[in-house]
Chain A
Amino acid sequence: DVVVSGGGMVGSAMAAVLGHDIHFHDKKIALLEAGPRKEYDHMPDSYSNRVSSISPGSATLLSSCGAWDHVCSLRLKPFRRMQVWDACSEAMIVFEKDDLDDMGYIVENDVIMSALTKQLDAVADRVEVFYSSKAVGYTWPLPSHGCDTSPWVQVELADGRRLQTKLLIGADGHNSMVRKEAEIKNIEHQYDQSAVVATLHLSEATDNNVAWQRFLPTGPIALLPLSDTASSLVWSTSHDHASELLTMDEESFVDSINSAFWSNINHSDFIDTAGAMFRSAISLLKPSGTAVRQLPPSVAKVDAESRAMFPLGLGHATEYVQHRVALIGDAAHRVHPLAGQGVNLGFGDIACLAHHLSAAAFNGSDLGSLKHLLKFETERQRHNVSLIAATDVLKRLYSTTLAPLVLLRTWGLQATNALPPVKVRI
C-alpha cells in the first residue's frame, strides 16, 4: 500500500507512525534502506557526534508510535533555555519557558534510530524493512485512465526485485532520487559553509541545560548540552576554516572554540555604544528589561575521533506531491542548522502526512490520490517556506561585519528579546 524510500530518522519514523496507525492495521508498508541493518542494542559510552535538537512537537510524534519511551530510557538531554548572541555587539536574545517545561531535547541521532528500529520491529507484520536495498528505477503510472498498464508505481531494486505500490514516499535526503526521477524541480543553493561537529568535554560539571549559539562573522557556533559534563559542537564556518579545525591538534581546537565564545575582538566602539543606547531606551519603555545574560561554559577537551564536517546548503522542492508520490524531510527541504529545525521540519511533515493518510484509509480512499496529498502539501509548504526563508535571511544577515547591518541586527535582536509575543511565536 505504501513504500517509504529512505531509512534515516525521517523515513523510519514515517514507516513506524503508519505502522502503528489503527487504520493501517491491515495494510502493507515497505521501508527501503540502502544501508545494512545496524545493531543499536548497546549504546557506546561515548556520545556520537551527530545530534539533533528535538522540539516538543517532534517528541509528541515519536511518542505516538512508542519511540519516545525508548529514547528516554537510552539517553537525552532536555534544555530549558537558549541564549543566542552576536559576536559583533552585545546584542543577545534569550528563549526561556516561564513554566518548568522543557524547551527541547538534544538527542543523538543514533539514539533516535535505535528507538525507531525497535518500534518498527514491533509492527513487523505490517511494515517490512528492506535493508541493503537500493531503488534503481521507478516506473510512474501513466495519466491516462483507460490503458492496460498498472496504475501503481513500480519500484525496481538493485537486486532485481520489483515492488508495486499505491503511494511512494520519498524520504531519501537532500539528493533525493525519488524527487529527481519524479522530475520535481528543486530550488537549491550551496552555502559557502561547512558544519564542523564534535563531542566536547566541559571544564567543570554544570547543570548544562542551556543551548548556546553565538553568531560569528564566519558563521554561528553552537554548543548543545549532552550531559552535565559533555556538549555537542555544531560550528558552521567557511570550508577552509572547517578543514583547518579538523586538522589542527586537539588543544588548538579547544582553544578556538573557547575563543569563539568568549572573545570580543569583533566588537567596535560604535556598535557597542549604539547597542547600549538602544538597551537603555528599551529599559525605559519596559522596566523589567531583558533577561539576565549568562556565561557559556568553557571547554576543556574534545573526544578523539569525534571531529567531522559536512557541507551546508539550502533546498526546497517546488512541489511536495504528485500523483502517488510524496516528499518528506530533507528530500523536500534542506535548511541551515543555525535554527536547529532540520529534522523537526521532517517530523512535522510526518505528523501532517500521517494524519491525512489515516483519514484517507478510514474513508477507503486510494492512498495515492492527489486529493489528500495536495492538502498535505499546502499545509506543510505554508509552514515550511516561511521558516526556511527566515533561516536563510538570518544566515545572510549574520554573515557580515558591515556596520549598518550589524546595527540593524543588533537593534533587531534587542527589540525581539524585549517583545514576549514575538519570542513565543519564534
Chain B
Amino acid sequence: MFNSEQNHWFVRKVIFWRAAASVAWSVLLLPVTTALFAFLSRFSLFHPIQWISGGQYSFDFVLVVGVFNLEYYTVVPSVPCTKIALLGKVLHPQQSVHSLVHSMMGIMVTWCAATMIGGRYWILAAPCSEEEGVTGQKMCLNEYYLFFLLAGAFMGYSYSLLGVVRNMNYVSFQTIQQCKYLRFKGMLPQVVRYSAVQSLYSVRNYCLFYFFFGYIPRAWICTTLNVHEDSSLHRLDTVSGLLDFRLLYHLWLSGTFLLLTWHITLLLFRIFITEAYSFPVQSSFSEDVSQCLPKVLSEKQPLILKFLALQDLFLLSQQSLSRRMEVFSLSQPGGHPHNWNAICKECLSLLSDLSQRLVEYQEVVASNGRARPLSSHSDQRSTSSETLVTSGTEEQLQTPQQSIGLKTPSSVFLRSTSLGLHTPMTAPFTPRQESPFSSSSVNRFVGNVDPSSPWYGSVQSPHVMRRGPKLWTASTGSPPGSSLPPSPTTIPSPVPAAQKPGLFSLWLQNRQEQVCSRYSDLCLPEASSQALFADSQAHIWALEGLSNLVAASYKEDRFGVVQTMLPSILSTMLLLQEAVDKHFKLPHASSKPVRSTCCLEDSTFKTLRFALRAALKTAMYRITVTFGEHLHSVQMSAEHRKRLQQFMEYKE
C-alpha cells in the first residue's frame, strides 16, 4: 500500500501526523454535531442514550472520510479541458470506488440518524397495520426507513460526484497565515451554510429520483426480504406521499448532518495540511542535512513537501531576519554560499521551466493555427486553441529526452498517489505508442509499468492525464475512423471490471473532437490556460521569495553572495515576463472565470495565472525599486536592458 513516496520522511513525520490530528479533531467535534442533530430532530433530549450510541457509529465514518482525504488530496488540481474529459474523470474506476464507499457510508450515517430520530424510522419491517394483519403475522415494509437509507446512499454519491466536478480534493494555500483555530472559526459558519444548502439541493434531487424510480428498490427489497407492502399507508413515490413535511425536514436535517461531518473533516484536513512548516536553513549535523530547506526545495516528490518548502522560503524571505542571514551566510570551512546557491538555482529552474512551458505552448498554437485545416468554422478560435495544445503535448512527449527526463515542472510537481489514482485513466490515451495499446493498458491496470517504456514514470502523473484528452485528439488530424485503437478484442479477459470504463472513456475521447467542434459550448476554452498554470502557486512563491531575498540583500548581504546571481535572476524574470505577456494575448487567456461562491469549492487554481502575472510584476518592481540606478551596472542583453528600463520608469 505504501510506496516510496509514502515512506518519505516528511510524509511519515509531518503529513501523517497532521492528517491524524485533523481526523482527531473532527472526531472530537462529532459529539457536538450529533447532539445538535439529536436536539433539532426531536426538539428534546429525552433519550440521551440513543444518540450516544448512534454517535459512536458515525465516529467510524469520519475516520474513513479522513483516510480518503489523505489518499485523494492534491496540491495541483487536474483541470479537464473539455466536458467530455470531465465525464471521463467521473467514470474513472478510482472515482467509482470513491463514490461507492461514500454511498455506503451515506447509508450507514443515515441509518445512525434514523436510529437517533427513532419513531417511525426505527425498523425496516414491522407487523402490518391492524385491518390487514388480523389473521397472520405478516411483516410489512416500513417505506420511510427504506426512503431514508436510500437518501443516504444518494447523498453520499452526490457528495463524491460533486467532489470531482468541483475539484474538492484540491488543497489550496491561504494568502495569509492565520492560526488554525481562527481559520476554522472563520470558516465554520460558511461550511454550515454550505452543507445546509447542499443538503437542500440533494433532498430536492433525491425526491425527484425517488418519485420516478422509487418503486424499483422497494419491489426489490420486498421480494428479497419477503415482506409486504402496506397498502393502508401512502406510498412515498406519489406526490402526496412526498409532501410529508416532517419527513422532508428529517431528511434535510440528516443530510445536513451527514454533509457537515464530512465537510468539517475536509476543512480540518485542509487547514492542518497547509499549515506553514518551518524548515531549518542549515544544520550542523550531517544526518539532518536532508531536511534542510535548500535540499528539500530541490526534491521532486512529494509535491506537498515542495510546496511547503516554497511557502517557507516565501515566509522567511519576508519575515525573518535571522533566517535570511543564514541564507546569505558562507559555508564553514570553504566560504561558499551553498545555501543561497541551492535556493536560487532551484527557484530559477522553476521559473525558467515555466517560461519554457509557456513558449512551447505558444509555438504550438502559432504553428498549428496556420498548418491545420479546421474541420469546423463555427468556433475556430476555441477549436484551434483546443486542438493545438494537443499536438504540442504530443510532440513533446514524442521527443524522448523530454518525456523521459520530465524536464517540465508540471510533471515534476505532480503527486502520484499511492493507489495510482490516475494510472488507469491515462492508459486509454496512449494510442500512438509503439507497443500495442492493449498490453500496455493492462499492464498499467495491474500496476506494473514497464520500466523500459518511455511512459514509465510519466504515466503516473496527473499532468499527462490532464493532457490526455489532447494527446488523443492529436491523432484526429486524420479522418476520425483511423484514430481508433486496435480492436478491443485483443484486451485480455482478466480485467473485465476495468475494461468497461476504459473503453467507454476511450470512445468518449474518440468522439471528443467531433463533438467539440460541432457543439462548441461543450468545450471549456479557458481550461487549457488554467491547466497550464495549475501549479503556479509554486512559481508565485519562488518569485516572491527570490525577489524578497534580493531586495533584502541590499542591506543584509554582507558577503555579496546575491550580486553574482543578479544578472541571471533578472534575465530569468524578464524572460518569464515576456512569455507571460505573450500568453495573455492568446484568446481566452485573459477571460475571467466565474467566482465560486463557497469556501469549500476552491477555485483558486482558476485565477492563478492572474496571480502569477501580478506577482511577477511586483517582484520586478521590488528589485528595481531597491537597487534603482545600480541596476545599470548589471550585465545583460540590450533587449533586457530596454525592458528593465521600462520597469525603472514605472511604465509596465
A and B are interacting partners: no
A positions within 8 Å CB-CB of B? none
